[in-house]
Amino acid sequence: KFSDHEERLSASDREEDEDDVEAALKKEVGQIRASTEQKLRRFQSVESGANNVVFIRTQGIEPENLVHHILKDMHTTKKKKTRVILRMLPISGTCKAFMEDMKKYTETFFEPWFKAPNKGTFQIVYKARNNSHMSREEVIKELAGIVGSLNPENKVDLNNPQYTVVVEIIKTVCCLSVVRDYVLFRKYNLQEVVKSSKEDAQQNPSSLTEEQSSEVVKAETEEEEKSSKEVKEENK
């Protein structure tokens, strides 16, 4: 119901009031928006739904570039900068962890890296947590097929690929990213990437180069040959 004063308002006065109300509403919406944006932090923790997994949402930052910069710095300086974080993986896309959803989503998601004229060698790494309905072999096969369909010149390389497609399944969510230097940066392991080549070789003999490995085998062979000669002489 209108008051007596409002009933007496002319048409022009009512239009002015409507304009004032609209301006007031716009101002209020703007204030709410500004308040919400201030609450959004640059880095914000989000519940991941899995033990020992922390998910950090970024605001206005490319996660692939950020994580690559951190690992590159640690790889160069060999300075250990964390005691509790084992691996740091960027996640730049998510979808439902069902094969049809993943296939539909990755057809577009992979384009910046693999759609012609873009191309590169790649590998796919897969890990599932709190999820048992997905098949590792099926996921890798289907996603590799999609990469190949975007450009036939994309080739699989399990030793030193240009790109590594990281697939992390957490409950019913599929987290995806395409990263560089996955092998060089020790599978994005912050504890391993700071180790020197010498330390790494001592702890991981399998990481020796083929040439180093052949030298070791050759030395062992010479020792065996020398030992067999000594045994032969003793028998004589």
Q: pLDDT of the chain along its 236 residues, tens only?
A: 445 555 555 555 556 666 677 888 888 877 777 666 556 778 888 888 888 899 998 888 899 999 999 999 999 999 998 889 999 999 999 999 999 999 999 999 999 999 999 999 999 999 999 998 899 999 999 999 999 999 999 999 999 999 999 999 999 999 999 999 999 999 999 999 999 765 655 555 444 444 433 333 343 444 444 444 444 444 44
Query: Which domains, and CATH codes, for the chain?
Result: 55-195 (3.30.2300.10)
Amino acid at 103: K
C-alpha triplet 132, 98, 112: angle, nearest 5°? 120
Amino acid at 221: T
d(CA 216, CA 148): 39
Expressed in percent and rounded to 5, the helix, strand and coil fractions of the chain are 50, 15, 35
Residue in 207, 61, 230, 141 with CA at minimum distance from that of residue 216: 207
